[in-house]
């Protein structure tokens, strides 16, 4: 069963300031990305583990203006890998 981003975050995207453009990927804050991982995997991914994955390049992210953003597509890729027993 697929779960939408709005369902995982509890609020519609427009309410949170997101404007969906099919030509651009949806970018999330690390906190939102961790919440989605937790919900999709059914386990808690620790904050330090998540940031270590970003720092070591196991998890793709973009840093703009001192803020880190994670593409939603990367979350889906990681969920697929971890649900099939692969390691990051």
Look at residue 88 and tell me if it is in a domain.
no
- Mind listing the pLDDT tens digit for each residue in 55-85? 999 888 999 898 999 999 999 998 898 888 8
Which residues constitute the domain of residue 43?
A: 25-83
Q: Would the pLDDT of 1 be above 60?
A: no
In a domain, 78, yes or no: yes
Beta strand ranges found along the chain (DSSP E): 27-28, 62-64, 67-71
- Each residue of 5-60: pLDDT tens digit? 556 555 555 555 555 666 778 889 999 999 999 998 888 889 999 999 999 998 88
pTM: 0.68
Residue 13 falls inside a structural domain: no
d(CA 31, CA 35): 6
Query: What does the pLDDT read at residue 32?
Result: 92
Q: Are strands 27-28 and 67-71 parallel, antiparallel or unpaired?
A: antiparallel
10 part of a folded domain: no
**Number of structural domains found in the chain:** 1
Per-residue pLDDT at 10: 57
Within-domain flag for 11:
no
Question: Could you tell me if residue 51 is inside a domain?
Answer: yes
């Amino acid at each position: 069963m697929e779960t939408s981003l709005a369902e995982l975050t509890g609020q519609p995207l427009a309410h949170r300031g997101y404007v969906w453009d099919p030509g651009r990927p949806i970018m999330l804050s690390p906190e939102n990305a961790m919440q989605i991982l937790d919900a999709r995997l059914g386990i808690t991914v620790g904050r330090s583990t998540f940031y270590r994955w970003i720092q070591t390049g196991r998890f793709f992210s973009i840093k703009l203006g001192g803020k880190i953003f994670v593409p939603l597509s990367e979350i889906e890729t990681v969920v697929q890998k971890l649900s099939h027993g692969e390691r990051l």
